[in-house]
Amino acid sequence: MLASPKEEGTKKQFISCIGKLELETDINADLHSVPLVIPCPGMAQVFRLSKLKDATNAFKEFNEPGRGSYGFVYKAVFANGRQVAVKRANAATIIHTNNRDFEMELEILCKIRHCNIVNLLGYYSEMGERLLVYEYMPHGTLYDHLHGGLSPLNWSLRLKISMQAAKGLEYLHKEFVPPIVHRDVKNSNILLDSELGARIADFGLFTSNEKELRGDLESDVYNYGLVLLEILSGRKAYGRDYTPPSIVEWAVPLIKQGKAAAIIDQFIALPRNVGPLLKLADIAEKAVMENPSERPTMSEVASCLEQIVKDGLIL
């Protein structure tokens, strides 16, 4: 079953993107009128294959910023300077997903519009190709910054990213009926836009059945808790160079003993008030509770983090 937008108060109107052809005049749009990242784009478009080939230099290898189970992801630059990311389905994906399933996936992707989600801009699906066009995230993944050698991010940014990622997951969990479960929450699926804002990427499109739904939502919360512990400590969720190797087995006992300060990343200059970071540790500890029913919802997590960000840090 596919999710549909939740109706709360005023009804939210979504228009299907299927069959809406991109206008040629967009190619000649003024460069300065097209932002590099659109916070919450409108209706997705059908792109022409020739335009996507030109923008990716015919899908050349040096334009590949990454790959996944779906296929390769390419950076594309249009003639007007606009940058996007193009996901190109591999043969296995095309074989195992029929046209009807693909159209259903497009329908739900077109309905997902949030400034903390990597939003779909358009697609192409003909001549044996399936291409999805997304917003381009110029600052890479959260993993790149925590573990991959990019700028390590100060505490204000880490708090903001924590809150924004929670808001993106809350949107998937709360605004659709049935909720959309991510199923693969991790720091490499949290991308950073031009303002270093957090965007959730690569979430599952099909919802769980009613029996499994609660457990899947609770698993998302747990995995988000792992991300929080990584943000706080700078450690990977699992590292053989550490004892114990599991970040949960290392961090949670310290937090419960009132020693959360011991897990804070020592390579980042501490703020003068560490209270917000200790509160972040408390939230993380609750999110990774062994008993799934004792974990907070993503809405509760997002609300707590909003308050922490609002209170601010003194650097």
- Domain span including residue 29: 4-135
pLDDT of residue 8: 47
Total count of domains within the chain? 2
Q: Are residues 103 and 241 located together in one domain of the fold?
A: no
Q: Are residues 123 and 11 located together in one domain of the fold?
A: yes
Q: Are residues 129 and 150 located together in one domain of the fold?
A: no
pLDDT of residue 38: 39
Which residues, at least 6 apart from 12, have a Cβ–Cβ distance to it below 8 Å?
5, 6
**Rounded Cα–Cα distance for residues 294 and 286 (Å):** 8
pLDDT of residue 13: 34
Q: Are residues 124 and 201 located together in one domain of the fold?
A: no
Residue 50 sits in a domain whose CATH number is 3.30.200.20
Among 54, 184, 216, 311, the active-site one is: 184
**Rounded Cα–Cα distance for residues 278 and 258 (Å):** 9
Q: Are residues 197 and 287 located together in one domain of the fold?
A: yes
Is residue 241 annotated as part of the catalytic site, yes or no?
A: no
pLDDT of residue 279: 97
Q: Are residues 181 and 54 located together in one domain of the fold?
A: no
Q: Are residues 100 and 172 located together in one domain of the fold?
A: no
**Rounded Cα–Cα distance for residues 137 and 199 (Å):** 8
Q: Are residues 14 and 56 located together in one domain of the fold?
A: yes
Type of residue at 161: I
pLDDT of residue 207: 59
Provide the b/e sequence for 25-34 (b: ≥16 CB within 10 Å): eeeeeeeeee
Q: Consecutive 10-residue runs of the chain (315 residues): their mean pLDDT? A: 54 39 37 38 83 93 62 91 92 75 85 94 89 94 94 95 98 92 95 97 76 92 98 95 94 98 95 94 98 97 96 76
pLDDT of residue 101: 79
Q: Tokens representing 14?
A: 């979504």
Q: Are residues 177 and 295 located together in one domain of the fold?
A: yes
User: 141: which DSSP letter?
Assistant: B
